[in-house]
């Protein structure tokens, strides 16, 4: 390991694989590529970085942002892409096993970016890659209710930029509101928060939708302060940022979502008045009734920027995976 604890990135499976040094470097690299891409020369230079690489986007769970941002991130770097978005169009319907399908993809491409309903499928694929001769990186673009590491990376980037004039993420109070039990974005972002000093996390949800012990135990083990609350209005004034998430109705097995009270866990014009003047409002999108579109016009609402940051962060991540980040001048 290098003295500053930055590691080579190969598979991207879990937010816990990233150190603070990795996060800081990825954020710097993201800002650098965003700047470069603004000029024709810079964009052309990025385009020439990875034209010899091909990517497979295997997205068998619905996706708009993550798919489009990875697809476009690949194209920014000259990577060619192919995709499967519906398992009914792959040989899995002929009974081919998941592992054989992944191995087949790996014969044609240099990286597999995957979103699945199942929780361990990215890891299973990475383990398979580690056993075969043609080992290519696997990127988890959302694994069921479990993790969404690349969303957490772009969320960190968005928070760092929002707190640019306030000393960055360290020392900030971050609130999370919504379906914290089944939403993978909050689980992943909470893990990345373990890298920051003096932060306090406030999980705001009805009891039945609260963050689970696997996450809070991990936070406690790393000495990260956190609290749980079921009262948004009570906690809102102390937050530096609020990260709002939607109800994950697709995981209902017995109409659980019906028990979520959107009148109490809702962010609209009234809540805007309770948030700090310098506060930040985030949402991974897509939104539901928890976030009023009337909030969009407030300068503290950064979720559309957050969405766009996702593409640039994914460009930076792909550059790290293929070890070409040294080709851009950090000066």
Catalytic (active-site) positions: 65-66, 94, 115, 148
| Residue in this structure with the two tokens 């708009």, named with its chain if needed | 64
Kind of pairing between the strands at 280-282 and 225-229: unpaired
Nearest residue relative to ligand NCD (C-beta): 284
Contact 298, 305 (CB under 8 A): no
Query: By CB under 6 A, what part of segment 226-245 binds ligand NCD?
Result: 245
Binding mask 103-142 toward ligand NCD (x if CB under 6 A, else -) reads: ---------------------------------------x
- Assess 66 for contact with ligand NCD (CB under 6 A): yes
Q: Nearest to residue 13, comparing CAs of 174, 137, 199?
A: 137
- Assess 184 for contact with ligand NCD (CB under 6 A): yes
Count, residues near ligand NCD per rule CB under 6 A: 13
State in angstroms the smallest separation of the CB of 224 from ligand NCD. Answer: 22
Strands (E), the chain: 54-59, 80-84, 111-116, 138-143, 173-177, 200-204, 225-229, 241-244, 280-282
Nearer to ligand NCD, 154 or 202 (CB): 154
- Assess 85 for contact with ligand NCD (CB under 6 A): no
Contact 201, 171 (CB under 8 A): no
State in angstroms the smallest separation of the CB of 158 from ligand NCD. Answer: 12
Helix orientation angle between 149-162 and 184-193, rounded to the nearest 10 degrees: 60
Nearer to ligand NCD, 6 or 187 (CB): 187
Up-side HSE of residue 56: CA atoms within 13 Å toward CB? 20
Binding mask 144-183 toward ligand NCD (x if CB under 6 A, else -) reads: ----x--x-------------------------------x
Q: C-alpha distances in angstroms, 28 versus 20, 96, 157, 161, 275?
A: 12, 42, 9, 11, 29
Q: How far apart are CA 146 and CA 127, in angstroms?
A: 18
Q: How far apart are CA 296 and CA 299, in angstroms?
A: 8
Strand order in the sheet with 111-116: 80-84, 54-59, 111-116, 138-143
State in angstroms the smallest separation of the CB of 148 from ligand NCD. Answer: 5
Task: Encode 207-236: b = buried (16+ Cβ within 10 Å), e = exposed.
Answer: eebbbeeebbeebeeeebebeeebebeebb
Nearer to ligand NCD, 137 or 178 (CB): 178
Nearer to ligand NCD, 11 or 314 (CB): 314
State in angstroms the smallest separation of the CB of 60 from ligand NCD. Answer: 13
DSSP annotation string for 37-98: TTSHHHHHHHHTSSTT-EEEEEE-S--SHHHHHHHHHHHHTT-EEEEE--GGGSGGGGT--H
Binding mask 276-315 toward ligand NCD (x if CB under 6 A, else -) reads: --------xxx-----------------------------
Nearer to ligand NCD, 287 or 320 (CB): 287
- Assess 195 for contact with ligand NCD (CB under 6 A): no
State in angstroms the smallest separation of the CB of 238 from ligand NCD. Answer: 25
Nearer to ligand NCD, 25 or 290 (CB): 290
- Assess 31 for contact with ligand NCD (CB under 6 A): no
- Return the residue of 185, 195, 216, 280 that touches ligand NCD, per CB under 6 A: 185
Q: List contacts with ligand NCD (CB under 6 A).
A: 65-66, 142, 148, 151, 183-185, 245-246, 284-286
């Amino acid at each position: 390991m290098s003295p500053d604890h930055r590691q080579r990135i190969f598979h991207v499976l879990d937010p816990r694989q990233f150190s603070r040094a990795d996060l800081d470097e990825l954020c710097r690299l993201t800002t650098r590529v965003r700047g470069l891409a603004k000029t024709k020369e810079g964009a052309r230079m990025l385009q020439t970085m990875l034209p010899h690489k091909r990517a497979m986007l295997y997205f068998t769970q619905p996706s708009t942002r993550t798919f489009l941002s990875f697809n476009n991130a690949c194209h920014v770097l000259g990577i060619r892409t192919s995709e499967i978005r519906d398992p009914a169009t792959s040989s899995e319907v002929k009974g081919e096993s998941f592992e054989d399908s992944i191995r087949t993809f790996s014969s044609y491409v240099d990286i597999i970016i995957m979103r699945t309903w199942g929780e361990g499928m990215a890891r299973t694929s990475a383990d398979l890659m580690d056993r075969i001769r043609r080992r290519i990186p696997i990127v988890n673009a959302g694994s069921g209710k479990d993790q969404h590491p690349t969303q957490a990376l772009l969320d960190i980037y968005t928070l760092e930029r929002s707190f640019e004039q306030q000393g960055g993420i360290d020392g900030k109070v971050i609130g999370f509101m919504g379906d914290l039990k089944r939403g993978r974005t909050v689980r992943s972002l909470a893990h990345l928060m373990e890298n920051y000093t003096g932060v306090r996390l406030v999980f705001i949800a009805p009891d039945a939708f609260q963050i689970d012990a696997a996450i809070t135990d991990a936070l406690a083990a790393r000495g990260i302060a956190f609290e749980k609350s079921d009262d948004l209005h009570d906690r809102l004034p102390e937050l530096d940022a609020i990260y709002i998430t939607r109800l994950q109705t697709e995981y209902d097995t017995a109409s659980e979502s019906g028990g979520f009270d959107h009148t109490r866990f809702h962010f609209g014009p009234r809540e805007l008045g309770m948030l700090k003047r310098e506060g930040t409002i985030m949402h991974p999108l897509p939104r539901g009734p928890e976030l009023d579109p009337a909030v969009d016009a407030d300068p503290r609402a950064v979720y559309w920027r957050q969405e766009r940051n996702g593409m640039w962060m994914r460009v930076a991540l792909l550059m790290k995976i293929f070890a070409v980040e040294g080709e851009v001048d950090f000066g």
